[in-house]
């Protein structure tokens, strides 16, 4: 894979007011039958996706602005 790497030719800084910035986060969450539904409802509210689920663990993917990702994390912690 390193052989396929391309050299950086040019870098341009975008004005924060004229660009859209997103972050992608994968979150591993333990769950039980008492909180499973709440976690899934929070995912629906925040447009997050459950990308993997096992007996007591799920991996959630969220792509959004940093402020909404932090809000989602707080929702999961409560």
The CATH number for 71's domain is 3.30.70.1150
Report how many domains make up the chain.
Answer: 1
pLDDT tens for each residue of 46-58: 999 999 999 999 9
10 occurs within a structural domain:
no
* Sheet strands side by side (includes 49-53): 23-30, 57-64, 49-53
In this structure, is residue 3 part of a structural domain? no
Which residue range is the domain that position 45 belongs to? 24-77
* Model confidence, pTM: 0.75
Mean pLDDT of 39-45: 96
Asked if the structure places residue 11 within a domain, the reply is no
Residue 34 lies in a domain: yes
> Considering the domain boundaries, does residue 18 fall inside one?
no
- Is 54 contained in some domain? yes
Is 14 part of any domain?
Answer: no
- What's the Cα-to-Cα distance from 46 to each of 30, 36, 52, 73, rounded to whole Å? 18, 16, 17, 10
């Amino acid at each position: 894979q390193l052989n396929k790497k391309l050299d950086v030719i040019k870098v341009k800084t975008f004005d924060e007011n004229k660009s859209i910035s997103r972050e992608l986060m994968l979150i591993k969450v333990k769950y039980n039958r008492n909180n499973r539904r709440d976690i899934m409802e929070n995912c629906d509210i925040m447009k997050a996706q459950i990308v993997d689920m096992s007996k007591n663990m799920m991996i959630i993917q969220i792509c959004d602005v940093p402020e909404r990702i932090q809000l989602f994390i707080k929702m999961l912690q409560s």
